[in-house]
Amino acid sequence: MKTKNNRRASKAFEKALTTPLTGNYVLRLYVAGATDRSRQALLRVRELCEAELNGNYTLEVIDVYQQPILARDGQIIATPTLVKESPLPVRRLIGSMQNLCRLFPELDLNPKGKTVL
């Protein structure tokens, strides 16, 4: 009996790994103060997430000057940095958020069920 239950559990686990998660995306944007570069990064990320993730996301903005411990814990060495925390795997995009073509593929996001090449 244990072998049959183990096989069933293993198949369920493998299926869960291959099934795309439908939950919210959890994103963190690390910025350095209220600079033009920080504001531009925030604007671009919000604009793109609203357009492509259709409100299916949570975006947390962290100012590394105001919350240096969070930056240290997140191992942030440069700003702006966008981190996709969930669904796994964790992905990071460091630097300018101007190039929208690379934002979603580099973060391993699948906007609106589209296949990103």
Per-residue pLDDT tens digits for 58-102: 999 999 999 999 999 989 999 999 999 988 888 898 887 776 666
Question: What's the predicted TM-score (pTM) here?
Answer: 0.70
Q: What is the CATH number of domain 21-113?
A: 3.40.30.10
Tell me the β-bridge partners of 51. Answer: none
pLDDT tens string 49-66 = 888 888 889 999 999 999
Q: What's the rounded Cα separation, in Å, for the pair 3 and 30? A: 48
Q: Quote the percentage of the chain above a pLDDT of 90.
A: 35
